[in-house]
Amino acid sequence: MTAVHVPGAPVIEDGLLVSTSPATGAEAGRFPVATEADVTAAVARAEAAGQWWASLGFTGRRERLLRWRALLARRIEQLADLMHLEGGKPVADGIVEVVTAVEHIDWAARNARRTLGPRRVRSRLILAEFSGHLEYQPYGVVGVIGPWNYPVLTPVGSTAYALAAGNAVVLKPSEYTPAVGQWLVDTFAEVVPEQPVLTAVHGLGDVGAALCRSGVGKLAFTGSSATARKVMAACAESLTPVLIEAGGKDAMIVDSDADLDAAAEACVWGALTNAGQTCIGIERVYAVEPVFDEFVAKVVDRAGRLTVGADGADIGPITMPSQLDVVRRHIDVALARGGRAVLGGADAVQPPYVRPTVLIDVPEDSAAVREETFGPTLTVNRVRDVDEAVGRANALAYGLGGSVFGRRRAMAAARRLRSGMTSVNSTLTFAGMSTLPFGGVGDSGFGRIHGADGLREFGRAKAITRRRARSLLPSMTFERTPADVARLVKVVKAMYGR
């Protein structure tokens, strides 16, 4: 019996994962579903490939990663079209995503040696006869479980850095975007045909669980906070280290001295790009009383001009059909609790689309404020001052990103936000800055991708001491004498006792 396809929902037929467009139902591809044995075998092959990959050294890996970067740059339209077909993302947004991924591949390839390579570390007087050495050695195989909302940028944020550090990677793409994940693997194989350094395993959640238990050296996960807990539990069975980027409910603060036109423009982009399906998307805004009404009017004006549809529109479909119920519930409850829709509202959910919705005066304990919505909706609430705004922004367990618009108090407020990243007078920009780390706190996860911290996440710190002279203050030996101990005490008191 043939399965009934809900456009965009993954279906397994005859051992194949079938991926379709959420907008049109058009098929994007079919991929063999991996069994637990298949996952184990993929990791075993990756272990051998990883040894070869590590042996290339930083120079050999850099050259190959830069070739992959160049290939992605040349085929940017092809990849963006595939993202549009499979996930419904507008082509222009897909191009921006690929551009950002290309930048991260370039930075990781060019900076891996400087960040992870062997170096001398200064010793101190007490152990002056030793030299210190530090390097970061690869884990061997890194498992990457990627999301569907940014199926290129987010997996590349882990994969490129793991590869630059000398690891092989086994990627489990989201079951909603397997075609994009396989495209990345296939293009990498074009420039590195010798060994299966980057491979993919496809399937539903059980395949991700199998990857957690497969013996990878480390696992990087991006997804919901609920699934992150399951991933951690599975990895804990073998003490496999994990890097977690989980959900978010990012806030934007608008101070009284903010450029309101710039703030409104950035807010609409940060909240509604990718149909609001962005972990670092702006889902709630706190605007101070003197500018609240004017700011809301500017947001409504800009958001109201956006187009919604399958092709050529600003906002595409909701990629995961089940998320439509979440978005509808958040809007309905917010309105029932006294919130007001100044744009969109109860009729905004029109599957597979959601029209832009701006809600004001929504109670802080409602789902639309406290839970991740993942749709093109936004709550805007008024506050007395920046202090109240920071307090409300920090009141949730999430802590991924955030934004502050203003002049005199903006940087101070940005530092006070309990989040891994904050943009001042912009939104989402930290995701594209390859020199900065990316990650959250609290229910938004831990660990970092991107930047030097992102490279170090995929290498084990290896410390080495090497004796270079006779000990003047012998202490770590049974051959020490009472006179040696007395000299040691005297030196320590002279150095540290004042």
C-alpha dihedral (229, 234, 240, 241), degrees to nearest 10: -10
Active-site choice (245, 283, 372, 457): 245
Burial 289-307 (b: 16+ CB within 10 A, else e): eebbeebbebbbebbeeee
What whole-number distance in Å separates Cα of residue 40 and Cα of residue 47?
11
Q: Is 245 a catalytic residue?
A: yes
Query: Could you tell me if 97 and 184 are in contact, meaning their C-beta atoms sit under 8 angstroms apart?
Result: no
Active-site choice (279, 283, 372, 457): 279
Q: Is 97 a catalytic residue?
A: no
Query: Could you tell me if 399 and 225 are in contact, meaning their C-beta atoms sit under 8 angstroms apart?
Result: no
Residue matched to tokens 């399965």: 3
Q: Please identify every residue annotated as catalytic.
A: 245, 279
